Each structure stands twice: as C-alpha cells, then as structure tokens.
Amino acid sequence: MAVLPIRMIGDPILRAPAQRLDAAQLATPAAQAFVDDLIETMHAANGAGLAAPQVGRAWAIAAVHVHQNPRYPYKPDVPLTVFVNPTLTPLSEETAWLYEGCLSVPDLRGRVRRHMHVRVDALDRHGRPLSFEAHGLTAGTYQHELDHLQGRLFVDGVVDPASFSTWANFDRFHREAFVAEATALVARYGG
C-alpha cells in the first residue's frame, strides 16, 4: 500500500468526469490495490472522504470514513465505506448550509448548501450492489465526494464568497457558531 500525492485545485483531473468501472475492471489486482491506496491516503491526510480523481485517477471510486476526525470533530462517525459508480438521489427538499473544506483546496473553507436526506446507489469495492441512505452532515459528506466524481469542487457551490475563510480564521471567527449549527443538525437528522 502507498500514500498517494493529492492533486490540488487547478489540476484538470479534478474537473473531469470520472469514468465508471465495470465488474471486470474493478476486480483487477491494479484496481484493488488502488482502492487500498485511496483508503491509506485518506487516513494519512485525516480526510473524511477521498475521491479517486484527487489522487490522479479518473475512476468513479470514492471512500468515506469518519472516526473522531480532527479536521471535522463535529461530524458523526461513519464506518469506512468504499463506493464505485455511485448515483445520489435527494430524498427530500430539506437543505442546510454547511461549512466545507477539501484536501484538494488548501486552507479554504466555505458555505455550501446540501441536501439533508439522500440515497446512494453504488457498488462496493467487490462489485456488489450497495445502497444506503445518509442524513444530515453525513449526507453532506457523500454529496461532497460524489461531486468530485462529476468534476465539481465545493467552491463551485459557494454562493456567498464572503463565507470563504482560511482554516485559522474559521477557528477564530466562525467555528463556534458553526459547531452550534452542526450540533443542532446532528440532533435533528442524526448521522
């Protein structure tokens, strides 16, 4: 396994739609080794999630794993989930404005509107069907990762540029208010 370099905003691979994999492609040792590297890289970077284009591969694969995450300590835990060829369906009109960041967008956070109830239909890393619902902040995490597979970054969804903040200034000026909002969202929607 290996920790892969993370591509930064401005790299065209982050703007290209990722390619779907068929079962035979996914089963190859190269694809399985890549999934292991994606997970290891996500963990090494303390990411809540990581999508294949962020490590230079235009494949429709992403991972999410949240466990006492130091970048986002208010996020509920999410077990390690690898998803391939995902589609996302909003399950209600309810939305919230979340403060997001991204390993491919250094030292910047901003407010993005996210659906609070979604369903994800995908394959797992072994090509088996995987469908689940996600709610609240966790729904936001999945929307962020699926956006990566469409060539979108969270900055595309920032409607109010005045919400952009460095991480240090988020801590200094915005964290307290947002953690109160995030805590209310967790209470209302769960993980």
Q: Where on the chain is the footprint of Ni ion (CB under 5 A)?
A: 102
Annotated catalytic residue 133: no
Give me the least distance between CB of 187 and Ni ion, in Å please. 26
**How many other β-carbons are positioned within 10 Å of the β-carbon of residue 40?**
15
Encode 138-177 in three state secondary structure. Answer: HHHHHHHHHHHHCCCCHHHHECCHHHCECHHHHHHHHHHH
The two structure tokens encoding residue 128: 């088996």
- Of 74, 65, 71, which is closest to residue 142 (Cα–Cα)? 65
Residue sitting closest to Ni ion (CB): 102
Smaller CB separation from Ni ion, 11 or 25: 11
Tell me which residue has tokens 């890289």: 41
DSSP state for residue 104 in the 8-state scheme: T
Smaller CB separation from Ni ion, 64 or 102: 102
Give me the least distance between CB of 103 and Ni ion, in Å please. 6
> Exactly one of 100, 133, 145, 181 is catalytic; which is it?
145
Smaller CB separation from Ni ion, 25 or 105: 105
Which active-site residues does the annotation give? Answer: 145
